[in-house]
A and B are shown apart, each in its own frame.
Chain A
Amino acid sequence: MNELPQQLVNGLLLGSMYGLVAVGYTMVYGIVQLINFAHGEIFMTGGFGALTVWLMLPGGTSLWVALPLMIIGAILVATTIAVGAERFAYRPLRGGPKLAPLITAIGLSLALQQAVWAWYPEAKSARTFPQIPGGPIELGPITIGTGDVFLVIAAPICMAFLAFFVMRTRIGRGMQATAQDPDTARLMGVNTDRIIVIAFALGASFAAVGAVAYGLKYGQIDYKMGFLLGLKAFTAAVLGGIGNIYGAMIGGLVLGIAETMATAYINHIPGMQQLGGQSWADVWAFVLLIVVLLLRPQGLLGERVADRA
């Protein structure tokens, strides 16, 4: 059986999740040149926000009714934390040396992880996430699990919404202006502080949707889930060209497909048996990143300043 179509779908699904999270890294970087390492943990808190909503609903509630509420809960929690982080952790350091907010972000990331570990009930090991009922959907050679359906629908909608928002709305144009030149943007009447808050909130909302997709896809969430996924999403953002929102989407997809292909095919290459398989997928993902950065330091879609936001 030819497994290529299925593996491509696997890669696209994984990649769209990376893309959803990567958007948050890239938007914040585009506007304030800050690599927000706590973004992976904001993604994680979104997942726990959704789970909290589910646990508060009366038992037996249909997931179809609960899902919109869970998404709202996830977005609320993630956005609150992201905006709070911006206000209290990053804004006071904005004029300071570039490394100060970066280190703050790493500290915040650890703090959020440990806070959930310590205070969320039974979060010391993985918690199960509600599942969409029903068996996998078969489309010819491709099988899509019910847990993936949400991702298949949500990811393109989110991406289309973001593109529309940045290109067509007043706030979106304000974001582009701030990204190009914050001082001039301020002179032209753009409230840059507000724009920055919106960038953080928007990134967090996308991460929250990604976290709900993660829970549905894998059936569990845990306090560490944002760490590895956050690093991968950051990689995706750099791969696509950090600061460029289309780059984040493309970078996510490229990274997801690369990991899947590495798992599926590298150990079939003669002499490479030892270097294939899923445990090597991360290595190949970073080899790809380094090769791309050597050939195109600005990333796949970097330097198109007009789209930067």
Chain B
Amino acid sequence: MRHRSLLILTTAITAGALTLTACGSRDDKGGDAAGGGNSTVVIGLDAPLTGDLSALGLGIKNSADLAVKQANKKQYVKGITFKLEALDDQAQPSSGQQNATKLVADKEVVGVVGPLNSSVAESMQKVFEDANLVQVSPANTNPALSQGPKWNTGEKKRTYKSYFRTATTDAIQGPFAAQYVVNKAKKTKAFIIDDKKTYGAGLAGTFKGEFEKLGGKVVGTDHVNPDTKDFSAVATKVKSSGADVVYYGGEYPAGGPLTKQIKEAGAKVIVVGGDALYSAEYIKLGGAAANGDIATSVGAPIETLPSAKEFLANYKAENYKDAYEAYGGYSYDSTWAIIEAVKKVVDANGGKLPSDARAKIVEAMQTISFEGVSGKVSFDEFGDTTNKQLTVYGVQNGAHKPIESGTFGG
């Protein structure tokens, strides 16, 4: 009898450990090949291609693929054929790091696009820095990635010179949302929820700071575990707190069910969040409850930009199964930035790739400037994009509609 309860206790504890770590990994898929050319170089890509965030990840992959195809078609860099190698990180920092190591080991890789998640980027940066391999993320928004861990105390310091991004940071996105909520939507009692990830917690923090500065009152906070789907207890807390707005720092797989359950609990609120809620999946998961919710996202809506016309037409012509989603344009620009940097290095070396190409490309990346899908693409002294535009989107009749675009003035 004693034996049996010991077995149960052990299994129970193992079960607990499993629950708390929620482990998992999967083999990665190879990228698609493009043939021909004299010399082939590889652009690596890392994004969640399966799992909850795959809608965004596949949009990133397809757009990068499109950029590579266009460059090859136009013979943009003479004598160089680009090839995309896409790896799946399942939004897990550990998988991201393995992928980074794998890409670094492949001598043909000259640059990497991705990842989607800030937490994954954190695990990759050091690996790329040590190998002098340039990384351009289309979607990371956590400011600490480029400006160092003490960025919000004003002590900005770039930690990794190989890290660049085309997405605007949360240091702007959170306050931008707070301004809209207080000044335009006239909501002053906020309940702030985050998922404790690098991205979510960072975003919620920057929103809170600006919201309180503008005279708003935070009536409650909570942290959720995005792996569970039951948020009923949190929803009840929101209702009894009397909040008129909920800010969620997190991603749509938990955000959708969260908004649904908060509204079903009878709370009269709108849910506001960052670019990771700006996805059709959010509305699919939230159902009718998502109507009226707001998401901010980086850049202006690419559908409205003249610079994006060609991208949109080409994307359609390739017949990709998945939409380009929130980061498609930025992913195209990130990939193109690597192509531009390669071009610069190759041109300076008399039409050939130099032996220390990786280091040269990192240097070249700092100086590139071109007209991309999302507008002008160039990087500041931290590796952040100089394009600081943001847009507020509202959910109306089951779709995200742009409400206003602008830049955050501080």
> Contact at A282–B19, with CB atoms within 8 Å?
yes
Query: Which A4-44 residues sit within 8 Å CB-CB of chain B?
Result: 6-7, 10-11, 13-14, 33, 35
A260–B285 touching, CB < 8 Å: no
Check B240–A293 contact: CB distance below 8 A.
no
A219 in contact with B257 given A1-B240, A3-B240, A138-B266 (CB within 8 Å): yes
B233 touches A7 (CB 8 A): yes
Is the Cβ of B265 less than 8 Å from the Cβ of A228?
no
B237-A219 in contact (CB<8A): no
Partner of B230, one of A14, A33, A98, A125: A14
Given A235-B15, A263-B233, A278-B224 contact (CB < 8 Å): yes
Nearest CB on B from A179, distance (A) = 14
Cβ-defined contact, B9 with A297, below 8 A: yes
Contacts of B221 in A (CB 8 A): 277
- Asked if residues A242 and B236 are in contact (CB atoms below 8 Å), the reply is no
Shortest distance between the CB of A68 and any CB in chain B (Å): 23
Cβ of A289 under 8 Å from chain B: yes
Given the complex, which residues of A lie within 8 Å of B225, measured CB to CB?
A: 278-279, 281-282
Q: Are A231 and B18 in contact (CB under 8 A)?
A: yes
A280 contact set on B, CB distance < 8 A? 223
Name the residue on B nearest A239 (C-beta).
Answer: B12
Restricting to A268-288, which residues have a CB under 8 Å from any CB of B?
A: 277-283, 286
**Shortest Cβ distance from A133 into B: residue:** B288
Give the segment of B47-55, B176-184, B386-394 that binds chain A: B47-55
CB atoms of A125 and B236 under 8 A apart: no
Q: Which residue of B lies closest to A287 (CB)?
A: B16
Instruction: Compute how far the CA of A124 lies from the CA of B266 in the bound complex, rounded to whole angstroms.
Output: 32
- The answer to whether A279 touches B51, judged by C-beta atoms less than 8 angstroms apart, is no
- Whether A238 is near chain B, meaning CB under 8 Å from some CB there, is yes
With both beta carbons as reference points, the residue of chain B lying nearest to A296 in the complex is identified as B5
Is residue A191 contacting chain B, with contact meaning CB distance below 8 A? no
| CA distance in complex: A259, B228 (Å) | 12
Q: How many residues of B contact A (CB 8 A)?
A: 53
Q: Say whether B101 faces chain A, with CB atoms less than 8 Å apart.
A: no
Tell whether A120 is near chain B: CB-to-CB under 8 Å: no
The tally of CB-CB contacts under 8 A between chains A and B is 146
- Cβ of B349 to closest chain A Cβ, rounded Å: 43
CB distance from B366 to the nearest CB of A (A): 37
Residue of A nearest to B11 (CB): A35
Which of B7, B224, B230 is the one whose CB lies under 8 Å from A218? B230
| A143 interface contact, C-beta 8 A | yes
Q: Is B239 part of the binding interface, using a Cβ–Cβ cutoff of 8 Å?
A: yes
Q: How far is the CB of A51 from chain B (nearest CB, A)?
A: 14
Q: Is the CB of A260 within 8 A of B232?
A: yes
Chain A, 89-121, CB within 8 A of any chain B CB = 98, 102, 117
Whether A136 sits at the interface, judged by CB under 8 Å, is yes
Minimum distance in angstroms from A125 CB to a CB of chain B: 5
A143 touches B265 (CB 8 A): yes
Q: Given that A263-B233, A277-B222 are known contacts, is A124 also in contact with B257, CB under 8 Å in the complex?
A: no
Q: Nearest chain B CB to A147's CB is how many angstroms away? A: 7
Produce 1/0 per residue, A253-266, CB < 8 A to B: 00000011001100
Report the bound CA distance from A131 to B281 in whole Å: 16
Task: Name B275-299 residues within 8 Å CB distance of A.
Answer: 281, 284-285, 287
Report A229-242 CB contacts with B as 1/0, cut-off 8 Å: 00110110010001
B52 in contact with A126 (CB, 8 Å)? yes
A17 to B284, CA, bound (A): 24
* Count of residues in A whose CB is under 8 Å from the partner chain: 57
Known interface pairs A147-B264, A278-B231, A279-B196; A126-B285 also in contact (CB < 8 Å)? yes
Task: Choose from A2, A220, A225, A278 the contact partner of B233 (Cβ within 8 Å).
Answer: A278
Contacts of B234 in A (CB 8 A): 263, 277-278
Whether B281 contacts A3 by the Cβ 8 Å rule is no
Q: Which residues of B contact A286 (CB under 8 A)?
A: 16, 19-20
Distance in angstroms from A159 CB to nearest chain B CB is: 20
Are A282 and B240 touching (Cβ within 8 A)? Answer: no
B317 within 8 A of A: no
The answer to whether A219 touches B8, judged by C-beta atoms less than 8 angstroms apart, is: no
For A289, the closest partner residue in chain B by CB is B12
Q: A297 vs B4: C-alpha distance in the bound complex, in angstroms? A: 10
Whole-angstrom CA separation of A298 from B1 in the bound complex: 10
> Nearest Cβ distance between residue A287 and chain B, in whole angstroms?
9
Q: Does B229 contact A (CB under 8 A)?
A: yes
Asked if residues A228 and B22 are in contact (CB atoms below 8 Å), the reply is yes
Assess whether B360 is interfacial by the CB under 8 Å rule.
Answer: no
- Is B253 engaged at the interface, CB distance under 8 Å to the other chain? yes
Say yes or no for B358: interface residue by CB 8 A criterion.
no
CB neighbours (8 Å) of B187 from chain A are none
Cα-based distance from A242 to B5 in the complex (angstroms): 10
Q: Is A278 a contact of B19 with CB atoms below 8 Å? A: no
Task: Let me know if B208 is at the binding interface, CB within 8 A.
Answer: no
Interchain CA distance A7-B196 in the complex, whole Å: 23
| A145 and B287 alpha carbons, distance in the complex (Å) | 14
Q: How far is the CA of A3 from the CA of B18 in the complex (A)?
A: 32
Given the contacts A219-B285, A220-B257, A125 and B54 also touching, CB distance less than 8 Å: yes
Interface residue? A307 (CB, 8 A): no
Q: How far is the CA of A138 from the CA of B266 in the complex (A)?
A: 9
Closest B residue by C-beta to A261: B233
In the bound complex, how far is the Cα of B15 from the Cα of A128, in angstroms?
A: 28
Q: Is A222's CB within 8 Å of the partner chain B?
A: yes
Closest chain A residue, CB of each to CB of B52: A125
- The interface residues of chain A lying within 8 Å CB-to-CB of B285 are 126, 128, 219-220
* Residues of A bordering B, CB below 8 Å: 1-3, 6-7, 10-11, 13-14, 33, 35, 98, 102, 117, 124-126, 128, 131, 136, 138, 143, 145-147, 214, 218-220, 222, 225, 227-228, 231-232, 234-235, 238, 242, 259-260, 263-264, 267, 277-283, 286, 289-290, 293, 297-298
Which 8 A-B residue pairs are closest in the complex by CB-CB distance? A145-B264, A263-B233, A10-B232, A3-B240, A297-B5, A279-B223, A286-B16, A260-B233
**13 A-B pairs in the complex with CB atoms less than 8 angstroms apart:** A3-B240, A10-B232, A13-B232, A125-B53, A138-B266, A218-B257, A231-B19, A238-B12, A264-B237, A278-B233, A278-B234, A279-B225, A282-B228
Task: Please name 5 further chain A to chain B contacts, defined as beta carbons within 8 Å, in addition to the given A143-B266, A278-B222, sorted by A numbering.
Answer: A219-B285, A228-B227, A260-B232, A267-B222, A289-B16
